[in-house]
Amino acid sequence: MDVEVGAEVELVSDVGLSNSFGVLADQPASAHALHDMDLCLATSFPASPAKSPPSKKTKKKTETTGELTDVLHAIQELSTKQDATFQKLISIENSTDATTKAVENLSLVVQKLVSDVNEHSEKMCRFARDITELQSSDKDVRSRIEQLERYSRRWCLKMHGVPETKNENLHSIVLNILENVAPDLRGKLSDALDVMHRVGRWNQDGGHRSIIVRFSTRSLRDVVWRAAKDNAYLKESHQRISEALIPADVAARAKLWPIVKKAREEELRKKLYFIYSIIAIRCTECLPEEWFCGECDVLRHKKQPLHNRECVIHGFFKAIPPTSYANKGEDGYRIHEQACISPTVKVPDCSCESTNFTVLPGKPVILITINGRFDLHQPLYVCQTCQHQWIPELKDLLRSGYWPL
């Protein structure tokens, strides 16, 4: 610093500048700040005037120095915040790297889980198919077992209400009862009775257990079963004989009996014979196709009412008249009554010469054939064009093969 000899040095300015330099020395200097400081130090100060400056200049320089100090403080705060921001960015970068690695690990885990789920899904599909096959096989096995048990019980009968005593001779008791039920079989039943025993555990309350009897021949069993129905001896002794049904058939009859009982109470027994889940009708004249379901039987025999048809009623084939047909309802098939029309040749007798006419049941008639009596109705023709009605004449009946009386 070059200063002229005898010049007055402004102490206030020097002190302020030194203070400013002191402040700069305390700050963490950046490259630009150090460069500015070097320029300030290299610059020579002007010579001080001979006279002291007025007080206003001193005040102005003091204010400038204070502003510089504020600026330096602001720069220091910004530098501190920038350092803190850099530290946060470094921390965020580190956490981002860790998160990326964790996501990659989770992606690998998810891929493995997806692979395991696909493998388990395939196994579950195989298990489901195996279970379905096993259920179907189990159903078939159960059905076959029931059929075998049902077939084996066709040689058996069940006796109820027979008094029970200790050390009883069951063969003699059963033989005596059956000989009274079917007197015509005396001398044959002794060899026909194969096995018999009480059913269930001993009842200490005085109740009598049922007896199941197995016959050696099915024909004798059927004779006894028919003789036991409405038998006076059984009614007097308060005993009864029933079929030895399997539990499934017992449950089915127990479920069906309230419906039949209700039908009897409502006096509908004449219109309802039985209720079936599946019905089969056999026609002895529709060979070679003799078996029909309920719907096909109606379609086939609506115009063939004279065919001999049979239906399974109570487990046996029973002839059904042409006035009966099977109709499917919500609870199964029911056998209902219908009006059958006697088949005749077509008798077009309308003035409008229309071929659009319907055939309705007309006057009731009785037809006697070699197969028996048939309760039918004479056809009533109705023209749909002019609403004209007519019935077959005598010549038409003769042409149809009938001989009116």
Mean pLDDT for back-to-back runs of 10 residues, the chain (405 residues): 39 39 42 51 50 53 78 87 88 88 91 91 90 90 89 91 87 91 86 88 76 90 88 89 88 82 62 49 73 74 77 69 70 68 75 73 83 81 78 81 77
CA distance 204 to 179: 30
Q: Within its chain, how far is the Cα of 356 from the centroid?
A: 48
Pairing of strands 324-329, 281-283: unpaired
Place of tokens 């009598």: 208
Q: What is the pLDDT of residue 53?
A: 54
CB 173 within 8 A of CB 196: no
Domain ranges of the chain: 153-249, 268-337, 342-405
Task: State which fold the 153-249 domain adopts.
Answer: Alpha-Beta Plaits (3.30.70)
Q: What is the pLDDT of residue 61?
A: 64
Q: What is the pLDDT of residue 348?
A: 67
Place of tokens 């006796």: 159
Helix/strand/coil for 206 = coil
Q: pTM for this structure?
A: 0.39
* Degrees to nearest 5, angle at CA 321 with 320 and 324: 85
Place of tokens 């109740």: 207
